[in-house]
Amino acid sequence: MDCVAKLKILLLGESGVGKSSIILAFTKGDYQAQFPATIGVDYNCKVVDVNGVKVKLGIWDTAGQERYRTLTSSFYRDAHGAILVYDVSEPKTLAKLNEWVEELQVYTTNKNIVCLVVGNKIDKPRAVTREQGQAFAQKHRMLFIESSAKTQEGINLAFEELTQKVIYLYMHLCCYIELNSLFV
């Protein structure tokens, strides 16, 4: 019988970068051109297989609008992973990720949180190069992937990479007690 691990994953980034679309593409394999802005926090889950281990991802979609950010600070607690999303057609959304990194550092209670930067909307004309996104991720010691929720390109890979890195980190670098806290 396979163990089931539970991971808390946050999606962070400015309003309109496609966080909700990424989650819909990953959890349902679907895409909606128009999404209402997330107010506060939305929750979804999906079970994935990582090297024979069933992992339940609890995915928290946080509001990108400044006025709702105070509602989300408590949801940073105990997160195992964070996906920081920017829109490759809007350069300011990459620059604003610095604020999300700061917020993550202030509110997260997990010193071993794994972070992934996702350049979304690669199906649109690009204003941010892949190299610029990679440089941001490297500067902050984060993983990096580009995606399109619309075409589904890179969506599954983003969650697979993050999940594998979290499992690897807890199995190889963290203490046994912390590893046990992942498993049901």
Per-residue pLDDT of the chain (184 residues; tens, 9 = 90+): 355 789 999 999 998 999 999 999 999 986 666 666 555 567 889 999 988 888 999 999 876 555 455 555 678 889 999 999 999 999 999 999 999 999 999 989 888 899 999 999 999 999 999 999 999 999 999 999 999 999 999 999 999 999 999 998 887 765 444 555 555 4
SS3 content of the chain, % helix, strand, coil (to 5): 40, 25, 35
E runs forming strands in 36-77: 41-50, 53-62
d(CA 103, CA 164): 24
d(CA 7, CA 166): 9
Predicted local confidence at residue 177, as pLDDT: 40
* 3-class DSSP state of 10: strand
Within its chain, how far is the Cα of 108 from the centroid?
14
Cβ 42 vs Cβ 73: under 8 Å: no
Q: What is the pTM of this model?
A: 0.87
Domains and CATH numbers, the chain: 4-180 (3.40.50.300)
Q: Quote the tokens at residue 14.
A: 């400015």
Q: In which element (H, E) is residue 112 found? A: none
Predicted local confidence at residue 5, as pLDDT: 83
d(CA 64, CA 2): 36
Predicted local confidence at residue 170, as pLDDT: 81
